[in-house]
Chains A and B, each alone.
Chain A
Amino acid sequence: DVKVTQSSRYLVKRTGEKVFLECVQDMDHENMFWYRQDPGLGLRLIYFSYDVKMKEKGDIPEGYSVSREKKERFSLILESASTNQTSMYLCASRSRRLNEKLFFGSGTQLSVL
C-alpha cells in the first residue's frame, strides 16, 4: 500500500529554534511537495522537488528551506521558527507521469510559542 510518512503528528517549538520536518515516501516517486494549511487559506505550496537534489520555490518559501538528498526523503527546514509559522504542514508525493494524483502524509501540526 502507498505510504507517505511524516515524522511527527504534533510538534511544539520555541521562537528562534531550528525545526526539521521530515517526510518519507515508499513509492519511488520523483516529485515531492511541502504545503502548509491554515483556516480560510487552504493549502499553500512552500517548496517542491521534481527529483533528487532538485528544488523549486512554491508560493510562500520565505522563512523555509528544503533538502532532498535521497529520492524517498524530503525535509522542510525552518531556520528560525516564528509564531506565524504555526500551522499544519502537509507533505505529498507524486509520480512524474502526466495526470498523476498526489499522495499525502497525515500532516504535522506545528505550534511555535
Chain B
Amino acid sequence: RKEVEQDPGPFNVPEGATVAFNCTYSNSASQSFFWYRQDCRKEPKLLMSVYSSGNEDGRFTAQLNRASQYISLLIRDSKLSDSATYLCSNTGGFKTIFGAGTRLFVKA
C-alpha cells in the first residue's frame, strides 16, 4: 500500500461547482499535512495547511481526520483558474511525502 494515496481523477466540473478531494495516509505518526497546487510544467506551491480543527481560506476548506487517516480539500464555486493538479502531503519526522496528485479541470 502506498503511504499517501489520492484519486488521480481527472475531475471535470463546470464553473461554480463544488468539488472535494480526499487523500489517505498510512503513517499514523505523521505530524503535519498540507495541500499543494501544481500548474502544468510548474513546481508545486503551497495551497493550505491542514489541521484537525479544519482550515478555511476563501473558497477552500481543508480538513484532517486522524482517526480515519485522511485529509480532504473542498473547493466551492470553482473557477476556471482552479484547473490544476492538487497534491496532498504529510510529514513524519523529517520526511515529507506526497500523493500522486488529483487532476482538476474546470470548464466554462
A and B together in one complex: yes
B95 touches A42 (CB 8 A): no
Report A3 CB to chain B, min CB distance, Å: 12
Q: How large is the interface on B (under 10, 10 to 19, 20 to 34, 35 or more residues)?
A: 20 to 34
Q: Which residue of A lies closest to B88 (CB)?
A: A42
Chain A residues bordering chain B, tally (CB within 8 A): 26
B42 touches A106 (CB 8 A): yes
A45 touches B96 (CB 8 A): yes
Which B residues, 29 to 79, have Cβ-Cβ distances below 8 Å to chain A? Answer: 31-32, 34, 36, 42-46, 49
* A35–B100 alpha-carbon span in the complex (Å): 12
Does A18 sit at the interface, judged by CB under 8 A? Answer: no
Name the one of B3, B44, B100 contacting A104, with C-beta atoms under 8 angstroms: B44
Between A and B, how many residue pairs show CB distances below 8 Å? 56
Task: Give the chain B neighbours of A101 by CB distance below 8 A.
Answer: 34, 46, 49
Report B57 CB to chain A, min CB distance, Å: 14
A42 touches B87 (CB 8 A): yes
Residue of B31, B42, B100 most packed against chain A (CB within 10 A):
B100
B43 touches A45 (CB 8 A): no
* A58–B8 alpha-carbon span in the complex (Å): 22
Q: Which residue of A lies closest to B95 (CB)?
A: A48
Report A5 CB to chain B, min CB distance, Å: 12
Known interface pairs A56-B94, A99-B32; 15 further A-B residue pairs with C-beta atoms within 8 A, sorted by A's residue number: A42-B6, A42-B98, A43-B44, A45-B95, A45-B96, A45-B97, A45-B98, A48-B95, A48-B96, A96-B94, A98-B31, A102-B36, A102-B89, A104-B44, A105-B43
Q: Which residues of A contact B (CB under 8 A)?
A: 31, 33, 35, 40-43, 45, 48, 50, 56, 58-59, 90, 92, 94, 96, 98-102, 104-107
